[in-house]
A and B are shown apart, each in its own frame.
Chain A
Amino acid sequence: MTETSDGGGGPPRVAQLRPGLWDTVNERYPGSMIDKADFVPLAPLRKPLSECRLVFISTSGVQPKGSMPFDTVHPVGDYSFRRVPSASRPDELEIHQLKYPTASANRDLNVIFPLDRLRELADEGVIGGLAENFYTFIGYNMDPERLERTLAEDIAAAVSEEGADIALAAPA
């Protein structure tokens, strides 16, 4: 069951498939999990969605075939990112990541990297368009400070250079 009720007559609470994951991972890999003290201020949307260019950012390890594979064996992780042209076809991409089940994504990449669906929404005018590139990296990194200082900021700089208005970020 994924739906539970708090019994108080409020809206149903949706439970995660593996309860207590943050505590479990934090116990096995002390200090590796991100825990922010405060919420960042909410950035308001400044124009209609139909005029916004969207960038997709993903920890799926999806990358163009022929680009240097993400380093899935390194014990401390890989802090590099790949640009994935948003005009790519799924058969031009491949996945280099070990830590999540990829069987479904290998049959239909859209379950983790929905580039066909995003393109459809852009073609229909629901969103204004797609940034020229999407951005990917892998999610097994043992140095959260370095992740934030380099990888996150490098991607943020690249994204703003491309003139994206909105970002959809998805873990894997």
Chain B
Amino acid sequence: MALDVTEHAKPPRAVFLPWMMGHHFGVPFHRDLQRRVILECLDHLVSAERSGEVRTLPIPWVQARKEGIEIERRLGLRP
């Protein structure tokens, strides 16, 4: 959510997601996206070469939200 907060705290490895607060693993019922975030973190864990490297997942919030709405429609959770 906040890249500048991450950069100030200087975690050794971080994956930044440009999404709304309270949605660090994506949107409701979007299993693939939730899984992808975790896999991205695990991959960064293995492949990061220097401390402080911040990886980003370039999926805009609007796209995550749109996909989530489509999934909820398919599941009959929204009209």
Contact = CB atoms under 8 A, between A and B. Distances in A.
B31 interface: yes
B24 A111 contact: yes
B23 interface: yes
Interface in B29-55: 29, 31, 34-35, 37-39, 41-42, 45-46, 48-52
Contacts of A2: 18, 60-62
A34 B27 contact: no
Nearest to B37: A114
Please classify the interface of chain A as helix (H, G, I), strand (E, B), loop, or mixed, using the class held by over half of its residues: loop
A38 B56 CA distance: 21
B45 A118 contact: no
Contacts of A16: 1-4, 16, 18
19 contacts: A2-B18, A12-B58, A14-B3, A15-B3, A16-B4, A33-B5, A34-B8, A40-B10, A40-B51, A42-B12, A100-B21, A101-B20, A111-B34, A117-B35, A117-B38, A120-B35, A121-B35, A170-B25, A171-B24
Interface of A: 1-3, 12, 14-23, 25, 33-36, 38-43, 45, 49, 100-105, 107-108, 110-112, 114, 117-118, 120-121, 126-127, 166, 168-172
